[in-house]
Structure 1
Amino acid sequence: MSAVAQRAERADAQRNRQNVLETADRLFAERGAAVSLNEIATAAGVGAGTVYRHFPTKDALLATVLDQRLSQLGEYGERALAMADPGEAFRRYLRFIADQALANRAICEALAAREDWVEPAKASGQCVVDTPLSALLVRAQRAGVVRADLDTRDVRALLTACAAIAEDPARVQRLLGVMWDGIRAERNSEIRNETVRLPELRDETKRNCPVCGDPIPETATGRPAKYCSAACRQKAFREKRKTA
């Protein structure tokens, strides 16, 4: 085979591999890890042998897709860290992670199962999500944009809740807005930690003696008493006689 033919074959193999990866990425995100290699081959428009030639097992293909996604997350984190505005950089990174989690639930669940979110990668020694998240959080806190009592685990928990609750991008953005209002330093500085005193509620079921004003003891049975004691009852009877 000539050198030109070999180069053409290698280029064609690379295109097929990339096509399989992109198709697998989409199907894994839409349907989860239950998608078979044959289904991926059909959707990619290639033969099953082409898929197996590059990825002998589905686990190998899924691992390659996850590694590719991790690389994308890491690249976005680096771009966010290069932004001049600490608050805007932190806010954009939060939105990017939430959008990715919503659009690719199955892939994000697989990443979480591998613990690549929080465990350092072997190659770089850094966590692709938590490392930039922590750095961006500290920058925003030092700039006075985000409240100082938050840590990376707090923010990750809030992000996870937003992604888990939301069903569409619009709801994600609304929940992120609520979250942002809650973690902003300037917003929370206006909130005072004061105990609100509620007015005491009067118990309308309790009655006082019309003669002396003392509470009338409750009776377990029979008609409710009108007076607190026999002395008050006699005094009221005498007053009625005088009036008569």
Structure 2
Amino acid sequence: MKRAERADAQRNRRKVLDTADRLFGERGTGVSLGEIATAAGVGAGTVYRHFPTKDALLASVLDERLAALGDYGAAMLRHPDVEYAFFEYLRFLNEQALANRAICEALAARGDWQEPSKGDGRCVIDSPLAALVAKAQGAGVLRADLDTRDVRALLAGCTAMAQSLGSAERAAHLATLFWDGMRAERNHEIRNETSAAPVIRNEIAVTEDPCPVCGTPIAHAGTGRPAKYCSPACRQKAFRDKRKGA
């Protein structure tokens, strides 16, 4: 019987946490414990039994949010595609920030984005982000003049600008522009463009040997047998001289 009560208590706690996470994200941190209890379908006493104050409930919500962000960052660090992993982590952070502005503001105020956690001494957001930045730069897919602070600042700027648009589609488009600006420049093969040093075909070129009659440099077409004389007149003169000699 006691085991059933414990399971029931755990389910009620989960209901309260999930409901608080949703309401804090939708309406901000000003939501009361009574409103959360009503939305979760439990009594106010159940909420107070697990979370004596709203700050305690908010702290638990934030801890779960940070754990999810950290787990996703760890998963991206294990992903074999370095470029995908880096930009996917940015997309996930941006998506979470847009969907849960109040919660993200509370996280930022708490300092968990930059300060090491008490559990393992690593920054929940910055540690995987810094590692992903290093891997992406090592693979040549991210600009070399960026560091973790730059990426975090661009992420925050993208989130703030996207929130002001009021459109998920425009926000996604804006995020794509931000991410593309972080990519390293790559050398692309030139196709269908004029070469800087075009190859001369079927055009007049100059040989190295001069005309044996007048000494003028010989011009000839790029195809066919090389010309022996510079002009028909020199060719005829050479032919006459050859006959005279015979």
Q: Structure 2 length as normaliser, TM-score?
A: 0.73
- Could you say which structure has the greater relative contact order, defined with CA pairs below 8 angstroms and 6 or more residues apart? 1
- Greater mean alpha carbon deviation, residues 162-171 or residues 5-14: 162-171
Give the Å deviation of 1:165. Answer: 1.1
- TM-aligned CA deviation for residue 168 of structure 1: 3.3
Aligned length: 186
1:85 positional shift: 1.1
Alignment of 1:1-244 (within 5 A): 5-166=1-162, 167-186=166-185
Identity score, percent: 68
Offset of residue 171 of structure 1: 2.3
- CA drift at 1:172: 2.6
Amino acid at match of 1:182: G
1:88-123 C-alpha deviation (Å, 9 max, x unpaired): 100100000000000000000000000100111011
Query: What's the CA shift string for 1:22-54, capped at 9, x where partnerless?
Result: 000000011111000000000001110000000
CA change 1:38–1:189 in 2 (3 A) is farther
Give how far 1:181 is off.
1.7
Per the normalisation by structure 1, the TM-score is: 0.74
The AA in structure 2 aligned to 1:82 is: R
Distance between the aligned counterparts of 2:116 and 2:23, measured in 1?
27
Q: What displacement does 1:177 show?
A: 1.2
Q: Is the 8 Å Cα contact of residues 118 and 127 (structure 1) preserved in structure 2?
A: yes
- Residue identity in the other structure for 1:52: Y
Larger Rg: 2
2 CA distance for matches of 1:132 and 1:138? Answer: 10
| CA deviation after TM superposition for structure 1 residue 188, in Å | 9.2
- Give 2:237's aligned residue: none
Q: Report which of the two has the higher share of strand.
A: 2
Cα offset, 1:186, TM superposition: 2.4
Alpha-carbon distance between aligned partners in 2 of 1:125 and 1:95, rounded to the nearest angstrom = 25
Q: Secondary structure at the match of 1:46?
A: coil
1:27-83 CA-to-partner distances (Å, cap 9, x unmatched) read 001111100000000000111000000000000000000000000000000000000
- Structure 2 CA distance, aligned partners of 1:128 and 1:189? 37
